[in-house]
Structures are given as structure tokens and as C-alpha cells.
């Protein structure tokens, strides 16, 4: 289930959870960071962990950081430098997908 649908269901009381992990939350449409998909996030009381790439066309990092500051629930953010929406990074950063995905899994387990 995608982050928008899952978080909307949690906000509406249709999906009971203890915590939410977002792997590249789609905060806005590509190229349109003025229309945010954030209103329901403010209704969630469960802790949330957001993973975000600095090159994600669906989640401008500065917009996400603004949203996070307004959340009532506890939250954490892990930024993947150079990561796109799927956390792929440019070859110049010398990191493999496996290394990044392992780091995401480790951080998630620590948080849980």
C-alpha cells in the first residue's frame, strides 16, 4: 500500500497501526510542489518515520521539513543524499542500491 493511501486510512481511523514508515512519501505531484498532500497527516497521532531522497521529484525536502514541523505526532526523518523517489543515487556517489536499501532497513529496525 502506498504512503498516501495508508496514511489517509490511518487518519480516517480505518487502519489501526502503532507506527508508520514512509519510503519516499509522495508529498506532491512531480513539478507541482505548491499542492501538497499533507492535510490528513496532521490528524495522525502515531509516530511516523520518513525516508526522503534529496532528488525526489515527488517530495521537495524543504516542503517535507515544513510539514514535519507542524505534525502533532512524533516523527523522524532520514535523508538519502542524492536519492530519487526510489532512493537510487548517481554513480558519482559510489553507493549501490543494496547499500542504501540495507541502511534503510537497519534504520527502520532501530526505530521500530
Give residue 66's pLDDT. Answer: 97
Residue-level pLDDT at 1: 64
Contact call for residues 61 and 54 (beta carbons, < 8 A): yes
For 36-72, the pLDDT digits (tens) are: 999 999 999 999 999 999 999 999 999 999 999 999 9
Percent of the chain with pLDDT over 90: 96
Position 59 scores a pLDDT of 96
Residue 3 CA to residue 26 CA, distance in Å, equals 7
Q: Where do the structural domains in the chain lie, given as residue ranges?
A: 3-111
Task: Please provide the CATH number assigned to the domain covering 3-111.
Answer: 3.40.50.1820
- DSSP-assigned states of every residue in 50-105: EEEETT-TT--HHHHHHHHHH-SS-EEEEEETT--TT----GGG---HHHHHHHHH
Span of 1-5, 18-22, 59-63 with lowest mean pLDDT: 1-5
How much is the pTM? Answer: 0.94
- Tell me how long the chain is: 112
* Beta-carbon contacts of residue 11 (< 8 Å; ≥ 6 apart): 40, 41, 43, 44
Distance of CA 51 to the CA centre of its chain: 4
Amino acid at each position: 500500500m502506498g504512503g498516501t493511501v495508508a496514511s489517509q486510512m490511518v487518519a480516517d481511523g480505518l487502519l489501526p497501526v502503532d507506527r508508520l514508515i514512509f519510503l519516499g512519501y509522495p508529498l506532491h505531484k512531480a513539478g507541482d510542489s505548491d499542492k501538497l498532500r499533507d492535510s490528513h497527516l496532521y490528524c495522525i497521532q502515531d509516530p511516523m518515520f520518513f525516508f526522503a531522497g534529496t532528488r525526489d521529484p515527488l517530495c521537495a525536502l524543504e516542503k517535507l521539513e515544513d510539514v514535519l514541523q507542524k505534525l502533532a505526532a512524533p516523527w523522524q526523518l532520514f535523508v538519502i543524499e542524492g536519492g530519487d523517489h526510489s532512493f537510487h543515487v548517481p554513480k558519482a556517489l559510489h553507493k549501490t542500491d543494496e547499500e542504501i536499501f540495507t541502511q534503510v532497513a537497519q534504520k527502520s529496525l532501530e526505530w521500530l
